[in-house]
Structure 1
Amino acid sequence: MTTPSRPVLFVHGLWLHASSWQAWIDRFTEAGYSPVAASWPGDADTVAGSREHPEAIAGHGIDDVVEHLESIIAGMPESPILIGHSFGGTIVEKLLSKGVGAAAIAIDAAPIKGVLPLPISALRTAFVALKNPANSSRAVSLSVEQFRYSFGNAISEEESNALFEKWTIPAPGKPLFQAASANFSPHSEAKVDTENSDRGPLLLIMGGQDHTVPEAITKSTLKQYKHSTAVTDLLEFEDRGHSLTIDSGWLDVANASLDWLKKQGL
């Protein structure tokens, strides 16, 4: 009897559509896994559809996405490997801390409660939404210039512009407000049980040139897990920015993720 392939659930972050994981899905399928990419609540099936209906995307917060993904995971044949980028990384950290998922890889994950560094570049990206409190209940889009600064600063302008046209969608502003106020809110949705030692292994991946989630944030995130005895590893791609999951160097990140999973016996 053939052993079923381990499921993998990919989770996108703000401003990218779930279909941006397609190259990863192909690579992980090739490696023997059974991967799928999850949309956030309100996302349409296509990039074009999501751009046409930003009102459906608006207003969703971190726990809305977590609950949505838990319902998807409940229908899987076994506990999946969780891989998330940006706020998707934050969400897979939260799921794993709840005992949902066999392991998680959080790539340039947005800050969780307890992370204190606020580099200027990260504030500049978040200010796209935070500049107007009403954006907490709206969907916010990036301009091509904002995408270049926040995602594509470590690649050519030509490649950055092409990625913007291919993958970007409006994003709910609410998670950015939740992250910004996390350390002042005792019941923040950005809180993760970092002391849980019964969870599966976690890999944090950071891009050394990332403007949106600078390495200081990821290193501070790692420190939040110091009281857990579960596996928590850190991997840096020194010359990469926030686009590292979708740009021309994505395969290096995907292969490194596969290598780490193999070391974990997954």
Structure 2
Amino acid sequence: MSDSRTPVVFIHGLWLHSSSWQPWVELFHENGYEPITPGWPGEATTVEESRAAPDAVADKSLTEVVDYMKTVVAGLEREPIIIGHSFGGLITELLMGEGLGVAGVAIDPAQIKGVLPLPLAQLRAGFPGLGNPANIHKAVSLTSEQFRFGFGNAISQEESDALYNAWNIPSPAKPLFEVAAGNFNPHAANKADTRNEGRGPLLLIAGGKDHTAPEVTTKAAFNLYRHSTAVTEFTDFEDRGHSLAIDAGWRDVADSVLAWLKAQGL
């Protein structure tokens, strides 16, 4: 890794493979950063291999994934920028709360503990995992129709299906159950230190048409940071759904992140 480049750790969420970040990797590399895209523990190198071996990620907890990402960060020569989408956004918030990363960007993040709104669309989006209690120890796959509702509702059916075919993989259901119970658990895995005043700047991004991580939940998370003097900012893309980081409009989101990072001196 070049000493002159700031590393950027891209963390994906449920039901997407780490390679879905590739367009961002190329753009950030062109802009002078050193991007990496660690998969979740047990995740295979390719989409095809991940689909063929779902048991490799079954029963992985949120804490296991966070601890793994800590080892990734610790292994870098320089402190990184951390950018996550969906559950990757939640992981970004957890890592930033512990003072890891020079800056963080959480795109359509899953809820941290303390976020109270629970829209019906979000319940439906999580139903493939949460609908059966026995799923807690399993890896769960989405159908193309479920992907369309949870990710691709703001884009065409054709584009949604193309993204599903390109990037969708089975994912552990356990983190869904952990987040769903987070507000009732004093030791919740999704409890972020929102009062940390020594962390780097954090940007929360919402999609106005997102079913999986609705805008109202991201705004509620943003409000939880009001007691910290550390830089915390919020922006939204009103006409975008949960696929905003991977669909045809990804560049608008990525460019806004680059502009924000440059405004932070990074």
Q: Same fold (TM over 0.5)?
A: yes
What letter corresponds to residue 258 of structure 2 in structure 1?
L
Gaps of 5+ in 2: none
What displacement does 1:3 show?
A: 5.7
What letter corresponds to residue 108 of structure 2 in structure 1?
D
What secondary structure does 1:40 align onto?
Answer: coil
* Separation of aligned partners in 2, 1:224 and 1:167: 32
Partner in structure 2 of residue 199 of structure 1: 199
Partner in structure 1 of residue 31 of structure 2: 31
What secondary structure does 1:223 align onto?
Answer: helix
What letter corresponds to residue 60 of structure 1 in structure 2?
K
* Aligned residue pairs, count: 265
What displacement does 1:68 show?
A: 0.5
What displacement does 1:75 show?
A: 1.3
Partner in structure 1 of residue 216 of structure 2: 216
The TM-score normalised by the length of structure 1 is 0.98
* Separation of aligned partners in 1, 2:131 and 2:72: 34
What secondary structure does 1:38 align onto?
Answer: coil
Partner in structure 2 of residue 88 of structure 1: 88
* Separation of aligned partners in 1, 2:115 and 2:62: 16
Confirm or deny that 1:133 pairs with 2:133: yes
Gaps of 5+ in 1: none
Partner in structure 1 of residue 69 of structure 2: 69
Question: Do the aligned partners of residues 76 and 95 (structure 1) sit closer, same or farther apart at CA in structure 2, a change above 3 Å counting?
Answer: same
What secondary structure does 2:245 align onto?
Answer: coil
Output aligned runs, 1:231-250, within 5 Å: 231-250=231-250
Partner in structure 2 of residue 263 of structure 1: 263
Partner in structure 2 of residue 153 of structure 1: 153
What displacement does 1:147 show?
A: 0.3
What letter corresponds to residue 261 of structure 1 in structure 2?
L
The TM-score normalised by the length of structure 2 is 0.98
Partner in structure 1 of residue 100 of structure 2: 100
Alpha carbon RMSD of aligned pairs, Å? 0.8
Residues 19-63 of structure 1: per-residue CA shift (max 9 Å, x gap): 000000000000000001110001000000000000001111111
* Separation of aligned partners in 1, 2:137 and 2:4: 42
Q: Which runs of 4+ in 1 moved over 4 A?
A: none
What letter corresponds to residue 142 of structure 1 in structure 2?
L
* Separation of aligned partners in 1, 2:183 and 2:74: 31
What letter corresponds to residue 264 of structure 2 in structure 1?
Q
What secondary structure does 2:190 align onto?
Answer: coil
* % identity of equivalent residues: 57
Partner in structure 2 of residue 44 of structure 1: 44
What letter corresponds to residue 141 of structure 1 in structure 2?
S
What secondary structure does 1:55 align onto?
Answer: helix
Confirm or deny that 1:253 pairs with 2:253: yes
What letter corresponds to residue 264 of structure 1 in structure 2?
Q
